[in-house]
């Protein structure tokens, strides 16, 4: 026999205050646990990488700072998801215990019951907005600075097999594996400031030697080099504008100090605050450059900030409709719908080169759809 919640005879106003505190407490406790789990899961990949860097000699304090600077970016995604999980779990349990039915019998509507969660979702949206516009870009920049500092002290720790490592502002390298200090299957790209490839180098093996002046020498063995940017006179002598060279050994200097010292003046768009972003947009507009990438960055940040409110309105009807045995199903559906939102984020990024489609507005499609669906579903449930 299902348990029936006991509602004390204290009058509608007093009863509502008691249950609002009760709902708010349950939401905060459940979200806190869900948030801790999500942050740990999202950080786990970075933790494994950090342990590997620690074994290579990177300072523990430096690694701690790098991981700390990643937390705000992770929270932008973990906070909305943890709120969604807590809303479904808390309201499904209240529905299963007939607490919602008892409150409605006492004259309390669903709109009144959802107020604690609504206030919490609005507060989290404001927090996510602040993090998206100011905190996350600044912390991304600081994390990148620490990356260069770690590179200065222990370059081999950042050369992870199968991943591209940026050795300087214009030089990136990818290795197949490394055995001690010897690197195997090396692929190196040197680009110009506009992103065009200047040199493409492959080598069977090599070593990265650090010098005293914060610079390196990359010694490559059994190499093949292709250059694509030359003077007009050189281009005449090359085949279709390319020159190919192969040999046993070549030494490529890497001026780390120059790249490091010039770093503060060159921030990527994802590492700029909202004021700098608008300033860059104004400058690009005066120069007649396309503004699509700036608009997409701005809309992406704003859409991410609205996810707590959208996920709250999405999860509430699923929670109220679910019984104990159906909670896992409703939670799974909500998580899938949340992943659909992030899939729209990726879709918008993929359409960046098609400004005629206005890909910046694609970010808002799931936000608007979830909010409208949630309001309609709650209105229908309130009438029953």
- Where is average pLDDT lowest: 13-22, 247-256, 340-349? 247-256
Confidence (pLDDT) at 261: 47
Question: Which residues lie below 8 Å from residue 365, measured CB to CB, with a gap of 6+?
Answer: 344
- Is pLDDT at 237 greater than 50 in this prediction? no
What's the pLDDT band for 82 if we cut at 50, 70, 90?
very high
Whole-prediction pTM: 0.72
Strand partners, 251: 219
153-168: b or e for each residue (b if 16 or more CB lie within 10 Å)?
ebbbbbbbeeeebebb
- Is pLDDT at 2 greater than 50 in this prediction? no
Q: Residue 289 is encoded by which pair of tokens?
A: 């450059």
Listed in order, strand segments (DSSP E) in the chain are 164-168, 171-179, 182-191, 197-210, 216-227, 243-254
Backbone angles phi, psi at 263, to 5 degrees: -65, -40
Percent of the chain past pLDDT 70, that is, above it, reads 77
Q: Residue 24 is encoded by which pair of tokens?
A: 């708010």
Q: How far is CA 62 from the centre of its chain?
A: 21
Four-residue CA torsion sign, 220, 222, 227, 233: positive
Q: How far apart are CA 142 and CA 29, in angstroms?
A: 32
Confidence (pLDDT) at 123: 95
Average pLDDT, integer, range 21-27: 89
More confident residue, 103 or 27: 27
Alpha helix segments (H runs only) across 159-254: 232-237
Q: Where are the domains of the chain?
A: 12-150+294-383, 170-261
- Is pLDDT at 164 greater than 80 in this prediction? no
- Where is average pLDDT lowest: 63-72, 99-108, 126-135? 99-108
Q: Residue 383 is encoded by which pair of tokens?
A: 């009438």
The rounded mean pLDDT for the chain is: 78
Alpha helix segments (H runs only) across 256-326: 256-261, 274-286, 292-305, 307-321
């Amino acid at each position: 026999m299902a348990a029936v919640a006991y509602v004390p005879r204290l009058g509608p106003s007093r009863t509502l205050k008691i249950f609002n505190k009760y709902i708010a407490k349950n939401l905060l406790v459940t979200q806190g646990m869900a948030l801790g789990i999500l942050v740990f899961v999202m950080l786990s990949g970075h933790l494994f990488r950090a342990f590997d860097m620690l074994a290579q000699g990177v300072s523990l304090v430096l690694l701690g700072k790098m991981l700390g600077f990643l937390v705000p970016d992770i929270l932008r995604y973990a906070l909305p998801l943890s709120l969604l999980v807590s809303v479904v779990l808390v309201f499904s349990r209240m529905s299963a215990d007939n607490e919602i039915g008892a409150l409605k019998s006492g004259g309390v509507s669903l709109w009144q019951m959802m107020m604690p969660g609504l206030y919490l979702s609005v507060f989290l949206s404001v927090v996510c907005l602040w993090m998206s516009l100011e905190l996350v870009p600044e912390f991304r920049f600081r994390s990148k600075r620490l990356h260069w500092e770690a590179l200065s002290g222990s370059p081999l720790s950042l050369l992870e097999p199968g991943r591209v490592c940026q050795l300087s502002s214009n030089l990136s390298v990818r290795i197949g594996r490394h055995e001690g200090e010897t690197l195997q299957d090396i692929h190196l790209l040197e680009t110009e400031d506009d992103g065009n490839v200047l040199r493409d180098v492959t080598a069977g093996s090599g070593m990265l030697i650090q010098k005293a002046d914060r610079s390196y020498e990359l010694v490559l063995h059994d190499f093949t080099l292709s250059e694509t940017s030359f003077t007009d006179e050189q281009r005449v002598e090359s085949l279709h504008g390319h020159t190919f060279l192969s040999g046993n050994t070549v030494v490529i200097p890497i001026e780390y100090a120059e790249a490091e010292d010039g770093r503060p003046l060159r921030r990527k768009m994802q590492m700029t605050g909202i004021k700098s972003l608008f300033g860059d947009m104004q400058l690009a507009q005066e120069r007649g450059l396309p503004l699509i990438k700036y608009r997409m960055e701005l809309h992406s940040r704003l859409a991410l900030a609205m996810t707590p409110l959208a996920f709250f309105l999405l999860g509430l009807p699923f929670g109220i409709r679910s019984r104990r045995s159906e909670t896992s199903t409703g939670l799974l559906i909500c998580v899938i719908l949340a992943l659909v939102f992030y899939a729209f984020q990726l879709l918008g990024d993929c359409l960046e080169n098609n400004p005629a489609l206005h890909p910046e507005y694609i970010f808002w499609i799931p936000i608007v759809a979830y909010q409208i669906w949630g309001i309609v579903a709650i209105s229908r449930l309130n009438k029953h």
